[in-house]
Amino acid sequence: MSTLDTLRDLRSNASGRVLLISEYEWKRYMATAVRYGVRAVLWRGRFSRKAFLETIRTIGNGGGVLPPALQGALVEEFERIREHVLAPRDLTMHGLTSREVDVLHGVADGLSLEEIAQKLAYSERTIKNILYQFMKRLGLRNRAHAVAYAIRLGII
């Protein structure tokens, strides 16, 4: 836990990416470590100058280097979040509701609000409200801006 405290303190004082060199299993704390800026982990027992330099180069270019077991731990954590936090609230990993995503798909496909309403079995008014609330919440100016936003998120 003292390592996590140190990482938290580092994160509050800097915005850089962190390389953690550890001899301990980090599966349990990996999501927290990532939140504190860890972008790479090297096991002390497998440490080499070459691995260190390659890892520094990788995280400097915006990448990450995690041992397979830690990658698996992060994937499991994302799945737990999706299943137990987001899905019960009808949210996707992007923070949008499934209704918002469906409406955005319709807008991106060039459908009119009436056509989207028919396709999704909602009233046209409901579709307008979904779009309006979505755009208001995210500060989007119009439907084209909303579609561009969804494309950047990888939803469309």
In this structure, what CATH number is given to the domain that contains residue 14? 3.40.50.2300
Asked whether residue 127 falls in the same domain as residue 73, the answer is no
Per-residue pLDDT tens, the chain, 156 aa: give them: 587 787 877 776 666 788 888 887 777 778 888 888 889 999 888 889 999 999 999 998 989 999 888 888 888 888 998 899 988 888 888 889 999 999 999 999 999 999 999 999 999 999 999 999 999 999 999 999 999 999 998 888
Please tell me the distance from the alpha carbon of residue 22 to that of residue 102, in angstroms, as a whole number: 44
User: Which CATH number covers residue 103?
Assistant: 1.10.10.10
Distance CA 118, CA 127 (A): 10
User: Residue 12 has what pLDDT?
Assistant: 65
How many CB atoms within 10 Å of residue 39? Answer: 20
Domain boundary among 87, 109, 139: 87
Nearest CA among 60, 54, 64, 58 for reference residue 34 = 64
Q: Kindly state whether residues 105 and 76 are assigned to the same domain.
A: no
- On whether both 8 and 79 belong to a single domain, the answer is yes
- Both 82 and 148 in one domain: the answer is no
Same domain? 63 vs 125:
no
- Taking CA 50 as the corner, what is the angle to CA 47 and CA 55, rounded to the nearest 5 degrees? 80
Q: What is the dihedral of CA 110, 87, 31, 58, to 10 degrees?
A: -20
Residue 34 and residue 79 in one domain:
yes
pLDDT of residue 139: 96
Choose one of 31, 54, 87: the last residue of a domain: 87
Q: What is the number of domains present in the chain?
A: 2
The confidence score (pLDDT) of residue 1 equals 57
pLDDT of residue 23: 81
The boundaries of the domain holding residue 138 are: 90-153
Task: Based on the fold, state whether residues 26 and 80 are members of the same structural domain.
Answer: yes
Predicted local distance difference test score (pLDDT) of residue 113 = 96
